[in-house]
Amino acid sequence: MNLMAEILIQVIIAFLAGSLLLGLHRKVMARVQKRPGPPIVQQLIHSLKFFFKETAFPKTVSKVFYIGIVFILALIWVVGVIVGPVAKDSLLILFGVYAVYKIVEHNSGSSSGSPYGKLSCVRAVLSAATELPLFAAIVFVYMVTGTMNIGEIITYQSVHGPLIYSIPLAALMFFMLILTKSPYSPFAITKDKVLISGFETEHFGFLRGFMLFSEAIAWYVLLWVFLTIFFGPLNAVGYLIGMIVISFVTGFINATTPLLSPNHSVMTQITIGAICFAGTALMIFTGVVA
Amino acid sequence: MVNQKITCIILLVLSTLAILACLVINFEAWIVYAVAIFGIPTWILSLGLLTMAKPKPEDVEERVKEPFTGY
């Protein structure tokens, strides 16, 4: 197939699937809290609807920065789709994508000139300090498989079985990262409701729709990476079931867990990350993992 | 506002042409990646800036002040 056609198809799949999964996530949360909740397609409809909503640029924003940061958010997750589902290239590039994503959260908050955005931008630095070490679970994937290339990791798992069985604590670290990025997460300190919508507060109308587009792709890519590097070679049905299950589980956790304060959130993530890191390292160096 | 509209139309046409060119012609992978990485977000951004509704002239002042509830 033509490479550009493949990229376009994967970006569209990522957007549609990501939006529907986030809609499912919201529905699960509502049902757990005994509310009917919006339809599953609501997230998707919102993303498209905002493209036609009235949009104005507030007086105090840095206009180029304010629009440019939304462009960069979309750009990095298109890179995520290319490196992941399309090319099955290096995990290190995806680590870089995630690092830039945290910078985008920071800059999006500061570009608006709003106090809510600025507070969220400070918290983005705090959360980056814990989320990037959680993404470092890929180090253990490298230590076991001897490669950072996603295609080769899939091949390794087709011979030796899924990595979830050999390094479960590393998988838990990555799951913590996914949980952190899910909406209304107990660790979502950058979008705490006391900050309205955090770094997104002053991005409304079309720009919010563009952000929702990128976030749907981000959710899809993160789930895809998790399933690919820990659950071995999967077909389309396997990915579909896996993504639905993870969205369901994170929705249930988020509906039943209050949002933590920034210091508690950071300490909890660091503690869980450190235990999983030490545990996995111990398993590898003592020869439990072949 | 007129300048913004013209810029958006130019960007939309350029990104569409670049993406279509990559669909029709088999360029080297790095060229296709570069076009996809910059072309897809540019296409959406320029399209969105054209399709978004603009505030009425008498409401503009209110709209650009309105979001800053904290100030």
Which of B15, B45, B56, B71 to substitute to test the interface with A, most A CBs within 10 Å?
A: B45
Cβ-Cβ contacts under 8 Å, B42 against chain A: 71
Q: Which residue of B has its CA nearest to A200?
A: B67
CA nearest neighbour of A243 among A268, A255, A260, A226: A226
Cβ-Cβ contacts under 8 Å, A78 against chain B: 36-37, 40-41
Q: Does B47 touch chain A (CB under 8 A)?
A: yes
Per-residue pLDDT of chain A (290 residues; tens, 9 = 90+): 788 999 999 999 999 999 999 999 999 999 998 999 899 999 899 888 888 887 777 777 777 888 888 899 999 999 999 999 999 999 889 888 888 888 887 887 777 777 777 777 778 778 877 777 777 788 889 988 989 999 999 999 999 989 999 888 989 989 988 998 888 888 887 776 666 666 667 777 888 888 899 999 999 999 999 999 999 888 999 999 999 999 999 999 999 988 888 888 888 888 988 898 889 888 888 877 76
**Alpha-carbon gap: A50 to the closest alpha carbon of chain B (Å):** 8
Q: Is A74 within 8 Å of B26 when comparing Cβ atoms?
A: no
Distance between first and last Cα of chain A: 38
Q: Does B70 touch chain A (CB under 8 A)?
A: yes
Q: Per-residue DSSP letters for A129-150?
A: HHHHHHHTTHHHHHHHHS--BH
Cβ-Cβ contacts under 8 Å, B67 against chain A: 58, 114, 201-202, 204
Cβ-Cβ contacts under 8 Å, B49 against chain A: 206
Q: Is B23 within 8 Å of A4 when comparing Cβ atoms?
A: yes
Q: Does B11 touch chain A (CB under 8 A)?
A: no
Q: Is A54 within 8 Å of B63 when comparing Cβ atoms?
A: yes
DSSP A83: I
The pTM of this model reads 0.91
Q: Is B44 within 8 Å of A116 when comparing Cβ atoms?
A: no
Cα–Cα dist A231/A272, whole Å: 21
The answer to whether the CB of A82 falls within 8 A of the CB of B36 is yes
Q: Is B37 within 8 Å of A79 when comparing Cβ atoms?
A: yes
Q: Which residues lie closer than 8 Å to A238 by C-beta, 6 or more apart?
A: A227, A231
Helix ranges (H only) for A112-193 are 115-135, 138-145, 150-160, 163-166, 168-181
Q: Which residues pair with B53 in a beta bridge?
A: A54
